[in-house]
Chain A
Amino acid sequence: MTGSILPVDDDVATRSAGRPLLEVRDLRTYFHVMDGVVRAVDGISFSIMAGETLGIVGESGCGKSVTSLSIMRLLDMPPAEIPSGEILFEGRDLLTMPDEEMRKVRGNDIAMIFQEPMTSLNPVFTVGDQIAEAVILHQGLSKKAAWDKAIESLKAVGINNPERRVKQYPHELSGGMRQRVMIAMALSCDPKLLIADEPTTALDVTIQAQILELIRTVQDRTGAALMLITHDLGVVAETVKDVVVMYAGRIVEEGSVEEVLLAPKHPYTEGLLGSIPSRGKRGERLNVIRGTVPNPFNMPPGCNFAPRCPYAFEPCTQADPRIGDANPPDVACWLYTATATSPTPPRVRPRLDLVEALG
């Protein structure tokens, strides 16, 4: 991976000094379906500074992908609806932006890498066509120049013999190769924010590490901010600086990777960490979070996690804790409020194997 074609951004420090690149405020995304309304994202707020990295973690169905699709405005409305919230990108609200302007943001300012490299590329066009298409559109390059740019970006994501690959169709490439193409495509217009939605989930373990390494390298080199969505705490530990933990459409905990992984506050985060199988404990039962994610049509009263929480006590079933209610305000849990009467704050073993990964 030599000969970077992606411009190194010297401006990161100055940009990050100001307001955040992306600021999501009280975002709610609901789906109107036959059986009622699913509150897939239910009032979440977070922000990313230019050039910074943020991980969004949670189980399947917690609303993390819907969050990213809401930011890109790629949801079909209806059935989806965004009844409230703001998504400020460089100070402009993406949610109220006219379609035509939003289209210019997509792919150009904010680019996205999807989970399924096998199906995310159009089978009837060559790889080069698909990369060049966005470059021609956003940067107004000629067909020839865009094609050269496609070759360069393939080279930048570590694809050997890019002159040959660029003419190939997706079915001629392996899964890892296709994900590299997706990354090349996402980076081809030098976006300011890269959203990676489970970029390694569909790949072999050996390829996963390579792709993560690649994402980290290109993020570093281009100075783009990175929003990484994953269910895998190991991936988070290796890739990002800050992390947000989501459960049933809400943010339950946020902080730096060190804080969250080494000293989790929310019982759910504790459960997630505890359920990672660790080395040297062969033959023991795996830890799981008991119970299942609540039925979206029948959310429990009070805290969404209360029915599964080993520490649940009286206030949990009565009122809904939100980020900011607690002290410090980085966890949505009654255990951390001033009025809490619980004598048992959660205590978790630090995950030393994850600590190593952080090193």
Chain B
Amino acid sequence: MGRTLAEKVWDDHVVRRAEGEPDLLFIDLHLLHEVTSPQAFDGLRLAGRKVRRTDLTIATEDHNTPTLDIDKPIADPVSRVQLETLRANCAEFGVRLHSLGDVEQGVVHVVGPQLGLTQPGTTVVCGDSHTSTHGAFGALAFGIGTSQVEHVLATQTLPLAPFRTMAITVEGELAEGVTAKDLILAVIAKIGTGGGQGYVLEYRGSAIRSLSMEARMTICNMSIEAGARAGMIAPDETTYAYLEGRDHAPKGGDWDDAVAYWNTLATDEDAVFDAEVFIDAAELTPFVTWGTNPGQGAPLGSNVPDPASYEDPQERIAAENALRYMGLTAGTPLREVQVDAVFVGSCTNGRIEDLRAAAAVVEGRKVADGVRMLVVPGSVRVALQAIEEGLDKVFTAAGAEWRHAGCSMCLGMNPDQLAPGERCASTSNRNFEGRQGKGGRTHLVSPQVAAATAVLGHLASPSDLTDAQQLVEA
């Protein structure tokens, strides 16, 4: 019987398979950041162990880093200690690190792909649940806890429980203004926050194949919000075109060998998935969340749902809790929900295409009075590209704040946070209670919806904008 993409990559990394034991898998690439690694390095030190493969390990600073005044000492002493701890650990154990101020610094899931380190058919791990991002290249990539970080540092392997496979097949064409973000939010709303539990998802179908690498990363990134072990997309010419010439992409004969291997990875025609979900791309519209988990989403053109409409008592209670926290009333059109802030950035939507899309919407327009818009590039490289294209000027002319690279307001570990009760349209990945700051309220949206929302002051798509919002050139 044929095998799926995920099964092929898994099989190619089995170091040891024995009855009654989990498979021991080799890890090709281990990404580190400051938040989930310090206790792992401590563990190594206590046991007198080394990092087995520093040549397969790379670190960056992202979660804690400020997006203003990056040339000054970090104001928060606890954040500063954490960053200094990473620097000391990387120096002691010989791990390559891109610190704040370095041209390769940025959100770990933006940095790996842009360096060409994330490649088809590899296993990629990081102490961060959004490691699923790298599955866009046909890598088996998943987030791990700190105990597993220590395990990979010490052994370059992980014992892993078996997985099941789920195909998410999206056929057809996305309508104008409908993005990868809308697609993945709709998938999560359909299968639920636990729908992917135990599964590696494979996104396939004509709508997926026509997406750019960056859009594919947005989709795979949020696989974890459906509870999945990982999300993957088969590598193809789009993948190879993105990779070729990047710093760490194979060169010369290695490139040819690599492509020959990558071409064998796609799911066999006679392979059978354990579960299948079908989505008609043409039916999708801009999608936003109204609740406090990423599965609580609805089309922008609909209303805040009535908790009483849920048959499952757990879902009903969850919806009641969510509306209370979000300060929303059932039946309110989502387009009437007013926001205080807009965040464009994160490992979900902080790449150059995302910034271009948002800039195209705000260009020649103004951010609405009383709305704060924060634009945070996913990496220094993304920022430099945006500056070269003049996007930073577009944002600042519209009244948005242009910041330095990092995770920023996605999780508010740095000073970029919502105040209690503030409502934000955010291109990030999680709308959990307090995620963007204590008491903050988050609506997950695409970059296009974020930008239109910033201009109008309420949840909106670019199609809601009229010439009236265009600035009259003096």
Chain B binds chain A: no
- Residues on A facing B (Cβ under 8 Å): none
